[in-house]
Amino acid sequence: RVLARLAQLTGGRLFYPVDYRDVSLSALFANLQEELRNGYNVTYYLDVPPDNTFHRIRIDVKNSSLNVHAPAGYEARRPQQTE
């Protein structure tokens, strides 16, 4: 459950083998390779100073057949003060 929650919060996915035979693991790794080949990076910048709060993000795609795996949001942390 902990890994599933972490994956959900960060936009990741879990890959579970059906069993541990070579055929099942081969299919799992094929899915993982496909996922990694079709990755993307999204960068965004704050237009206000960081406020130490959680900000939700939403990613919409025009093609409804696409699956988007993205984090629920981010925490805009203020830089720590050094003395």
- pLDDT tens for each residue of 47-76: 888 999 998 888 888 999 988 888 888 888
User: What single-letter amino acid sits at 39?
Assistant: G
Q: pLDDT of 18-35, one tens digit each?
A: 777 777 788 888 888 988
Give the residue, 42 or 52, on which the prediction is more confident. Answer: 52
What values do phi and psi take at 29, rounded to 5?
-70, -30
Distance from C-alpha of 5 to C-alpha of 12, rounded to nearest angstrom: 10
What's the pLDDT at 65? 92
Taken in order 31, 17, 61, 44, is the CA torsion positive or negative?
negative
Three-state secondary-structure class, residue 35: helix
What's the pLDDT at 8? 82
* Whether 53 contacts 76, CB under 8 Å: yes
